Structure 1
Amino acid sequence: MNILNFIAINIIGEPAILFGIVALIGLLLLKKSFPDILMGVVKTIIGYFILVIGCAPLQEACTPIGVWINGLLGVKGITPQNWIIMSATTAKYGSEVGLTVLVAFIINLILARITKLKYVALTGQILVIWASFAVGVLGGYEGVSTFQIVLFAGLFCGIYNWLAVAVSHYFMKKSGRMTDEFGLYVTEITGIALTSWLAPLVGDKDKRSDNIEVPESLEWIRDTTVSVSIVAMIIWSIIGIIAGKEAVEALSGGQNWIIFLLFLGFKFGAGLTVVLYGVRMMLAEIVPAFKGIATKMIPGAIPGLDYPTVFQFAPTAVFIGFIANLIGGIIASFVMVGIGMKTVILPAVWMNFWTGGMLGVFADAYGGKRGNVVMNLILGFLTPFGWALAYPLSGFLMTTNATADYTDTSTIGYLYELIAKFVFGK
């Protein structure tokens, strides 16, 4: 049991190790030379860690916004935070989570091998987070055995993980503006599908975010690092000023509050730049290596990768999508307070970035910059209501005062909760 948990959590659930192993197996199957194998594996792992390093300044820039907005709301709401529910669930149901990850991964591999849908989910941390959600829901029911939890949650996650990559790859390929070499495993297939279907109705795919015509004096706008940093600096400053000097100084660490606000924008721009560099480095190695697995073990297999792997296709759309998604989420929180809902979901600023940025790329490909803004505003607003609806059925997770913050938690996750209640409820 301990060995299986170790494999599930520390190998399958650790992206750097999982990607490195995938690169190693693929390059071995391609019969590459030792130097090529060594460079491919090391660059894959380093590319991932560069991506992670870029996430730190992004999170540093996003966190204060959530604190200030929550202060303005003046309520104690539910925190949308995957890491909280994962930590709490693995602490109490560690064996069940580990076995669920392993069972789900095996089911995914079998389905990819025997069906025409050759998709394999490889985003390690999301494999663990989604399994934690599935296990945590069942943990709220009395008398449910470890075997029942692992079987029920493992089957759900295995099928879902397989189909999630298939859906994302379908819309990536169909867009003609991304790639068909890989898909996404991001548990956001509801948002991806709705965005891809509806963005053409509300936007114009020929008027893309990265193709904005500007005069020569504003040519700097075309540089993603510069434009994103400056716009972020302006937006952060506005929110900080609304929150007030005292609220900003509480997080500034003694730095002048105005300078602190300005630097947050630059941190965001720097973080996004590093993430994009890490993504390109990792993909340059992992995608060719995965073809070895696709050729020998699962013919035609396509990997499902993480959010930022699509950021490269429309960097400006990432930032626009984030801001629109965040605004939608903020409005939703204020509306929940205004209408007196029992469950109030606080703004999920960190997830607004990942979800909004990723959906921004899809919306931009299918509906241009207007489609990006409209779809992210709508989904950013509606998704928290889905989380509020799902929260009372989230079992053990209710003890954490947090909810999983994926788009699919509010749709497919809610359906899973209803089925679990029907099967295990008394």
Structure 2
Amino acid sequence: MEKLDILMKTDVVLVFVITIGILMQKKEINNLLVSIVKAIMGYNIIVFGSNLAISTLGVLSLTIRRSLHVFDIIPSNETMISIVGYSYGKNALFIMIIAMVINIIIAKLTPLKYIFINGYYILYMSGMLALLINDKPTYSLIILSGIYLGFFMSFLPFITAPFIKKITGREDIGLAHFGSVACLIGGMTSLIFKNSKEEKKEKKKSSFMRDSSVLMAISMFFIYLLAIINIENGFLYDFTGETNKLYIAFKYSINFTVAFYLIILGVRMMTDEILFAFKGIGEKIIKDAKPAMDSAVFFTYNPEIVMLGFVTSLVGGIVTLMVQIKIKSPVVVPPVTTHLFSGGLAGIFGYVVGKRKGALLSAFVHGIIITVIPIFLLPLLRPHIGLMRTCYADSDFGILAIIFTFLRKLLF
């Protein structure tokens, strides 16, 4: 498992990719060192911001669960990878290596030119596939799992490429994210709001608000305040160390805003170096190779809509949760971090085709999808994780697990 962790650390992958790309362009060693340092600094700023966001949103998640008194299915990618742990780490490593090789082969031989650079998401998905074959981890199933994952590491960036092009205005970068399907479905539903007349009006609005950290902090203040207003002081003190609700809402809204802008700062530092390195890889190794990168990379293009998408996706999740309670189905607690990183992206997908109304619809649909899919995913994982009430949070884990289970039954 230690080798697995080292191999899949994104900073290690970045150093490897940048080194190859710079050397292929026959640049001097000082250029290589500058690119590596800037990319790793950017990555670590992203990690610091992401960890701060996750811990801050963890408080929001706890208060939502406490307010609604629901503890049925609690999706969490981080919890799932800890379950994979040492028991399934060896198989996950093999699946991961096969998947990365398949991803490169596909990029070399087909029009799917995307290299999936998101180490931890590859780790998460490899772990899930290792769980799904745990009852019979034969070499054939391990190889099938690796090929299966490698194909989707190439295919998902390809099918989201039209939206990414609209978001970025460029074709040399893709999305490496296993929440792609829900974002894609949300973005496609927003096509009903496609309206060219709205574009100029929206541009004037967003130009004023695009970089407004104050707007974000105020929005999150009210979200936190609404979440904790009816929570007893003793419970709040246990996990925040504070009892004053106004102060708690203020503190965590500021922490969230700082985290968000740290992520954006890190992305800006890292992305330029990655794209520069891929110029060498594309010219010398894989013609027209394109890096596929995490959802946070695309937050820089419209931070305001990311916030709108996050809040709307969370609302979609809570509304769906209420319906689940009403119809007495299994209840899925909203994974707040996923609503930020995937729901925010879904908002951008919707915005580029349907402006603000499109962003609202896309993110809301995303929130519904990720609150429904765990109901179908958990039964597939339960034989391998026992009675634990958790599963993976992003949409593609459930979708790929269902397809893989069907494929396995068909072939074996």
| TM-score normalized by the length of structure 1 | 0.90
Determine if the alignment matches structure 1 residue 157 to structure 2 residue 149: yes
Rounded Cα–Cα distance in structure 1 between residues aligned with 2:332 and 2:110: 39
Matches within 5 A, 1:250-399: 250-254=238-242, 256-341=244-329, 343-394=330-381, 395-399=383-387
Rounded Cα–Cα distance in structure 1 between residues aligned with 2:62 and 2:213: 25
> Cα distance, 1:203 vs. partner?
5.3
Q: CA RMSD in A?
A: 2.2
Of 18, 25, 38, the match for 2:20: 25
Of 395, 405, 411, the match for 1:417: 405
Deviations 1:320-341 (Å, cap 9, x if unpaired)? 0000011111122222222111
User: What is aligned with 2:102?
Assistant: 107
User: What is aligned with 1:182?
Assistant: 173
Of 385, 391, 395, the match for 1:407: 395
Rounded Cα–Cα distance in structure 2 between residues aligned with 1:275 and 1:321: 17
Rounded Cα–Cα distance in structure 2 between residues aligned with 1:145 and 1:58: 36
% identical aligned pairs: 23
Letter in 1 for 2:180: I
> Cα distance, 1:271 vs. partner?
0.6
Q: Is the 8 A contact 1:100 1:153 kept in 2?
A: yes
Determine if the alignment matches structure 1 residue 14 to structure 2 residue 5: no
User: What is aligned with 2:37?
Assistant: 42
- With 356-365 and 102-111 compared, the bigger mean Cα shift is at 356-365
Rounded Cα–Cα distance in structure 1 between residues aligned with 2:201 and 2:289: 32
Q: How many residues align?
A: 410
Letter in 2 for 1:196: G
> Cα distance, 1:421 vs. partner?
4.6
Rounded Cα–Cα distance in structure 1 between residues aligned with 2:97 and 2:212: 39
SS of alignment partner, residue 402 of structure 1:
coil
Rounded Cα–Cα distance in structure 2 between residues aligned with 1:198 and 1:136: 33
Deviations 1:356-389 (Å, cap 9, x if unpaired)? 1111121111111111111211220233212202
> Cα distance, 1:222 vs. partner?
4.3
Deviations 1:163-192 (Å, cap 9, x if unpaired)? 11212223212x265432210110123123
Deviations 1:134-178 (Å, cap 9, x if unpaired)? 111222x3xx134133112111101111111212223212x2654
Letter in 2 for 1:347: P
Determine if the alignment matches structure 1 residue 202 to structure 2 residue 193: yes
User: What is aligned with 2:88?
Assistant: 93
**For residues 200 and 255 of structure 1, do their structure 2 counterparts lie closer, same or farther at Cα, with a shift above 3 Å needed?**
same
Rounded Cα–Cα distance in structure 2 between residues aligned with 1:358 and 1:178: 16
> Cα distance, 1:210 vs. partner?
7.0
Q: What are structure 2's unaligned runs of at least 5 residues?
A: none
User: What is aligned with 1:167?
Assistant: 159
Q: What are structure 1's unaligned runs of at least 5 residues?
A: none
> Cα distance, 1:289 vs. partner?
1.0
> Cα distance, 1:14 vs. partner?
1.0
Determine if the alignment matches structure 1 residue 132 to structure 2 residue 127: yes
Rounded Cα–Cα distance in structure 1 between residues aligned with 2:358 and 2:234: 37
Rounded Cα–Cα distance in structure 2 between residues aligned with 1:171 and 1:220: 24
Rounded Cα–Cα distance in structure 1 between residues aligned with 2:387 and 2:95: 21
**For residues 420 and 20 of structure 1, do their structure 2 counterparts lie closer, same or farther at Cα, with a shift above 3 Å needed?**
same
Rounded Cα–Cα distance in structure 1 between residues aligned with 2:409 and 2:228: 43
> Cα distance, 1:223 vs. partner?
3.0
Letter in 2 for 1:77: D
Q: Is the 8 A contact 1:209 1:316 kept in 2?
A: no
**For residues 240 and 208 of structure 1, do their structure 2 counterparts lie closer, same or farther at Cα, with a shift above 3 Å needed?**
farther
Rounded Cα–Cα distance in structure 1 between residues aligned with 2:201 and 2:87: 45
Rounded Cα–Cα distance in structure 2 between residues aligned with 1:145 and 1:168: 32
| TM-score normalized by the length of structure 2 | 0.93
Rounded Cα–Cα distance in structure 2 between residues aligned with 1:208 and 1:18: 41
Letter in 1 for 2:24: L
User: What is aligned with 2:69?
Assistant: 74
